């Protein structure tokens, strides 16, 4: 149930026919896990917290550095040196005291990923390395957790939604990690801070629509890749298909057949 204070806080959401009071209560009862409290996770966390998603977990093993503040807008200058997950949770909680934000200072791995993601209605992946992206893909496919992955570099970004068993997964497109020398990082190549904000905000918007679970909100970017080039301000949506020999999807099919 929503308190009178929450009804006032979320009134602009509730006015929407796609949300109403029932949709806002659905958001309050949702659990979202954000992997990576960086340039993408920061705006996504702020907007999910502001929207009233009831429980948010933030997983990150890093600490706040001066160079982060150009794009990781969840942090303040006074947070430098603090664990990102803890600082991000604290700042999001100060934005909205009516929700629960848990900061988990940990590096996600094959040993702990299932436990850390368990119970999530949706996972947002915004890490800066392919190793983590493949790991989140595999665990979400295994645990049947829908997730939205995204990446950003220089002036470009991408967002992709995956519903296990329905949509092509990350491995359907990228079978294996590219060689490290072929994948420059933001530290090497740079990134426009507002570009990370744009992509992280798209992740948040897609998440909210997915959690509302209306007929129109179930498609969005699931089963598609959105590519954004901010230099030309071109947005391109590409439908993607499952790859028959995809290792991750094949395991899920095999699991279904044995149940």
Active site residue 169: no
Query: DSSP alpha helices (H): ranges in the chain?
Result: 4-9, 11-14, 20-28, 41-51, 84-95, 113-117, 130-143, 170-173, 186-189, 193-212, 247-258
Percent of the chain that is helix, strand, coil (3-state, to 5) = 45, 20, 35
- pLDDT for 247: 85
Given the residues 140, 169, 172, 186, select the one marked as catalytic. 186
The per-residue pLDDT for 253 is 54
CA geometry: angle 27, 200, 55, nearest 5 deg: 30
Task: Please report the pLDDT score of residue 185 as a whole number.
Answer: 76
Q: Which pLDDT score, from 0 to 100, does residue 174 have?
A: 85
* Structural domains of the chain in order of their starting residue, each with its CATH number: 4-258 (3.40.50.720)
Note whether 143 and 46 are within 8 A (CB).
Answer: no
pLDDT tens, the chain, 259 aa long: 999 999 999 999 999 999 999 999 999 999 999 999 999 999 999 999 999 999 999 999 999 999 999 999 999 999 999 999 999 999 999 999 999 999 999 999 999 999 999 999 999 999 989 999 999 999 999 999 999 999 999 999 999 999 999 999 999 988 777 766 667 777 778 899 999 999 999 999 999 999 998 665 556 899 999 999 999 999 999 999 988 889 888 766 545 534 3
Question: Cα–Cα distance between 146 and 162 in angstroms, integer?
Answer: 6
């Amino acid at each position: 149930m929503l308190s009178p204070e929450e009804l006032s806080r979320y009134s602009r959401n509730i006015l929407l026919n796609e949300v109403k009071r029932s949709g806002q209560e659905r958001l309050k009862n949702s659990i979202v896990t954000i992997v990576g409290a960086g340039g993408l996770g920061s705006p996504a966390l702020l907007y999910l917290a502001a929207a009233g998603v009831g429980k948010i977990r933030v997983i990150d093993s890093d600490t706040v550095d001066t160079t982060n503040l150009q794009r990781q807008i969840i942090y303040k200058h006074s947070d430098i040196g603090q664990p990102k997950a803890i600082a991000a949770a604290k700042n999001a909680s100060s934005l909205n005291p009516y929700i629960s934000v848990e900061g988990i200072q940990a590096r996600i791995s094959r040993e702990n990923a299932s436990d850390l993601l368990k119970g999530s209605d949706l996972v947002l992946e915004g890490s800066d390395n392919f190793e983590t992206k493949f790991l989140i893909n595999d665990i979400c496919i295994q645990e049947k957790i829908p997730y939205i992955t995204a990446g950003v570099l220089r002036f470009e970004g991408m967002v992709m939604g995956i519903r296990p068993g329905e949509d092509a997964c990350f491995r359907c497109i990228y079978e294996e990690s590219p060689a490290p020398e072929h994948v420059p990082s933001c530290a090497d190549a740079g990134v426009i801070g507002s570009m990370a904000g744009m992509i992280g905000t798209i992740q948040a918007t897609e998440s909210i629509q997915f959690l509302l679970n209306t007929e129109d909100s179930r498609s969005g970017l699931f089963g598609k890749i959105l590519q954004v080039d901010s230099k030309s301000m071109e947005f391109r949506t590409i439908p993607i298909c499952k790859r028959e020999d995809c290792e991750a999807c094949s395991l899920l099919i095999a699991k279904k057949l044995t149940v």
